[in-house]
Amino acid sequence: MSMHARIYQRTNPDGSIEYYNKKDHTRTPPSRADRGLSSKYDGMIERLSEKHGVDPRLVKCVIRVESDFNSEAVSPAGAMGLMQLMKETADYYSLRDPFDPEANVDTGIRHLKSLLSYFKNDVPLSLAAYHAGIGRVKKRMALPPIQATIDYVNLIMQLYTGEKKNYSEGAVKKLYRRVERDGTIVIYSK
């Protein structure tokens, strides 16, 4: 007689990974912060997140910030759908219709999972790579000095953890040089 057990994985905000074999049905009702994370896609997001071993709350936070749960959203940069996938990312994962909510979320979760794996479950670095590209994060192994990316990571992490914190402390700020009339060189950041 063969028995099958389902093992679930959850990545906590601190980056630790938790494995468990039973869904937690004793969770408390959604808090005020969670209300903005509810959508008609909840069941699908939870199912796909579970399938790929990514915390559904993190996925919902990404979708909330990326598209505000609008499956037809297109950014000025050309990112598409619920998880705002760029064409290159969609092509890499063989996504045919980026506006199909289920296919978009499945692809977005797969991409997010690959980033979490690459950055050893460091959620802020993975989010920065999701937003700005893996190369920009890999170069410094810190949030890149791009204000839009820093704001993006801080906003998602605030939704995800409930704590307001600046995750860009490790980001190298761009330095500027100014030469005064007397020849003094002034180095400063904006």
Q: What is the pLDDT of residue 30?
A: 42
Q: What is the pLDDT of residue 171?
A: 56
* Cα 172 from Cα 183, distance rounded (Å): 27
Which residue in the list 66, 72, 102, 180 is annotated as catalytic? 66
Is 66 annotated as catalytic? yes
Domains of the chain: 8-22+30-189 (1.10.530.10)
- CA 139 vs. chain centroid, Å, equals 19
pLDDT, tens digit (0-9, with 9 covering 90-100), for 25-39: 334 444 444 557 899
Number of residues in the chain = 190
Q: Taking the model in full, what pTM does it have?
A: 0.73
* Cα 102 from Cα 89, distance rounded (Å): 16
For residue 68, CA distances in Å to 71, 130, 147, 178, 179 come to 9, 16, 20, 42, 46
* Cα 9 from Cα 33, distance rounded (Å): 23
* Cα 113 from Cα 126, distance rounded (Å): 9
User: 19 - beta bridge partners?
Assistant: 9
The pLDDT confidence band at residue 89, using thresholds 50, 70 and 90, is very high
Among the ranges given (61-75, 110-124, 169-183), the one the predictor scored with the smallest mean pLDDT: 169-183
Q: What is the pLDDT of residue 139?
A: 86
For residue 46, CA distances in Å to 109, 133, 150, 161, 182 come to 11, 25, 27, 18, 63
| Mean pLDDT (whole number) for 71-83 | 95
For residue 100, CA distances in Å to 36, 83, 116, 143 come to 22, 11, 24, 31
Burial 35-51 (b: 16+ CB within 10 A, else e): eebebebeebbeebbbe
Torsion-angle region of 75 (φ positive above 0: left; ψ -120 to 50: alpha; else: beta): beta
